[in-house]
Amino acid sequence: MKNFKRILSVVLCVCLLTTSSIGFAYAEDATSGAPTRVSVVVNGDTSSSRGFCWYTAQQADTKIEFEGVDASAYTVKDVVCEEWEGNFMHKLVVTGLEAGVTYTYRVGDGENWSDWGTFTTDNGDDKVSFINIADVQASDYEGFMKGADTLTAAFATLPGADFVSNCGDFTNDSTNEEWDAYDKAFAALNRTYTLAPVSGNHDGLGVEYWFNNMFALDTSESVQVKDGVNYSYDYGNAHFAVLNTNDLLSISYAQLKWLENDMNSTDKDWKIVFFHKAPYSLGKDAKWPDALYLQKSLTKVLDECNVDMAFYGHDHQYIRTKPLTDNKIDENGTTYVLSGTAGGKRYEVRPFLKNHFLDEDFIDRIVIQREGVGFEKEEYIGGCFEAVEINGDTLTLKTYIVNDATGETILVDEYSVTKKLGENKATFDGDNTTSELEYILGVVPSFLGLAVYALGEWLPEFLSLVPELLYSVIKYDVF
């Protein structure tokens, strides 16, 4: 009996020690001093530079190290440690990395480190591939896991993806609790790829500065950072611009000018734009003027600058348009992709919007992710992602649904564009920053542009669809 008690106490001690050591080593535990919410984002030259952001509960040093790489081989700059909403935000930018190398890194204060993560720099060839997701917009761990499962399936489908674009609405309310739940679900994934984040309305409107404080982006050309960030980067033979559609409720003149200059400053053969609010959609928010104004304002710039494809979110369903120029079908125009939601919050189609704010002929493929109006197949009930590959003169887009019930990844759209290379010329070589004064001077004209559209075009069209809207409410309970 005595021996049994001794053995029992030894076993209990071993169990307690093991449990406590596991707890101490758990890098995502905010109370341990180890970093949380770690992200690696595009920042400057994608072949040699990345931005890193993370959080700690207490004030701590802001450090990074790379496995097997001497600190003299790269430069750390723009180091920031600031209190934000009760925690400490850390940011830094690493430059001087080698092209085409997979780096293993960790961040922390020198004693408390994150788990090791990886990312790969652009190797300089003319190929690029990326995963696009949008609108996880969850509030709790289970909701975020739906998005994380979709992203896991996306990497299984396109394992060599160079980066991930997230077209916004990361969380529902941008609170500490939600970002921690997001982190708990996504942390292991987020340490292993380069992210190009887009600010959604849930990331920027009414929750100012949250988006900029979650990602170490290059904000040097952003027209503002209060409710989102606009920036651009090259990868392979493509130029990518990321827009902020929270800017003066939609998009400011300053940002449109920035986009025009930015797109005219590249001779890359492919031009792609990411943003959040949806100009072409049949979803819940496709009846409001802030998003629809983009049909008037943003699409003009995309037309003028020969943008090949635009990805956006906001409306939680998948629509790919035929190529459009000046709001008309044109085989040389821009293809618009409403990304579908990677998460569990999904919208029905709004039939009353057809041929009012979106010409039915424009739609080349539509996939509704929940039962209701316009719904076709059980397999479409699941999270959505796009896998995009650009190889020389061909862009291939494949869209998938990860079925909720079976976990199966189902191809729901396939589309490719081939183009003549060498036609884009860089015609802008100036300063593309916007001063605070320039931005302020543009506020009134920007709001006037939106107001003129809303009163002159949107309102009469909206009033004309009210009877159909009421019918939809009565028949389908869909507003």
Which spans of this chain sit near Fe ion (rule: CB under 5 A)?
Answer: 169, 200-201, 314
Provide, rounded to whole angstroms, the least separation between the CB of residue 168 and Fe ion.
6
Question: Between residues 121 and 281, which has the closer beta carbon with respect to Fe ion?
Answer: 281
In this structure, what are the phi and psi dihedrals at residue 27, rounded to the nearest 5 degrees?
-70, -20
Q: How far is CA 330 from the centre of its chain?
A: 28
Question: Which is nearer to Fe ion, 44 or 204 (by Cβ)?
Answer: 204
Give me the least distance between CB of 195 and Fe ion, in Å please.
18
Q: Judged by CB, which is closer to Fe ion: 121, or 201?
A: 201
216 vs 282, which CB is nearer to Fe ion?
Answer: 282
> Considering only CA atoms, which of 347, 357, 306 is closest in space to residue 327?
357
Least distance from Fe ion to the Cβ atom of residue 448, Å: 24
Asked if 231 and 219 count as a contact pair (C-beta separation under 8 A), the reply is yes
277 or 296: CB nearest Fe ion:
277
Smaller CB separation from Fe ion, 201 or 369: 201
Rounded distance between C-alpha atoms, residue 244 and residue 225, angstroms? 9
Shortest Cβ 342–Fe ion spacing (Å)? 13
Nearer to Fe ion, 285 or 359 (CB): 285
Name which of 270 and 275 has its Cβ closer to Fe ion. Answer: 275
Rounded to the nearest whole angstrom, what is the least distance from the CB of residue 384 to Fe ion in the complex? 15
Q: Give whole-number Cα distances, 366 to 97, 320, 401, in Å.
A: 42, 6, 12
Residue 231, H or E segment: strand 231-235
Question: Can you tell me the distance from the alpha carbon of 121 to that of 73, in angstroms, rounded to the nearest whole number?
Answer: 15
Strands, E assignment, 96-218 = 102-108, 117-120, 127-133, 163-166, 195-197
Task: Report how far residue 191's alpha carbon sits from residue 180's, in angstroms, rounded to the nearest whole number.
Answer: 15
Backbone angles phi, psi at 72, to 5 degrees: -75, -10
CA-to-CA distance for 341 and 339, rounded, in angstroms? 7
Q: Are 259 and 241 in contact (CB under 8 A)?
A: yes
> Are 72 and 149 within 8 A, CB to CB?
no
Alpha carbons 417 and 81: distance in angstroms, whole number = 44
Nearer to Fe ion, 35 or 340 (CB): 340
Taking the C-alpha atoms of residue 305 and residue 258, their distance in angstroms, rounded to an integer, is 12
CB of 316 to Fe ion, least distance (A): 8
Helix (H, G, I), strand (E, B) or coil at 472: helix
CB of 276 to Fe ion, least distance (A): 6
For residue 476, the minimal CB distance to Fe ion (Å) is 22
Residue 343 structure tokens? 């998460």
Q: φ and ψ at 159, to 5 degrees?
A: -65, -25
Cβ-closest position to Fe ion:
314
C-beta of 201 vs 281, nearer to Fe ion: 201
32: DSSP letter: G
The distance of closest approach from Cβ of residue 313 to Fe ion in the complex, given in angstroms and rounded to an integer, is 6
Instruction: Give the Cβ contact number of residue 33 at 10 Å.
Output: 16
Helix (H, G, I), strand (E, B) or coil at 4: helix
51/343 with CB nearer Fe ion: 343
The CB-of-242 to Fe ion minimum distance in angstroms stands at 15
DSSP tag of 113: B
Give the C-alpha separation, 375 to 65, whole Å. Answer: 49
- Shortest Cβ 169–Fe ion spacing (Å): 4
Tokens coding 273: 């734009």
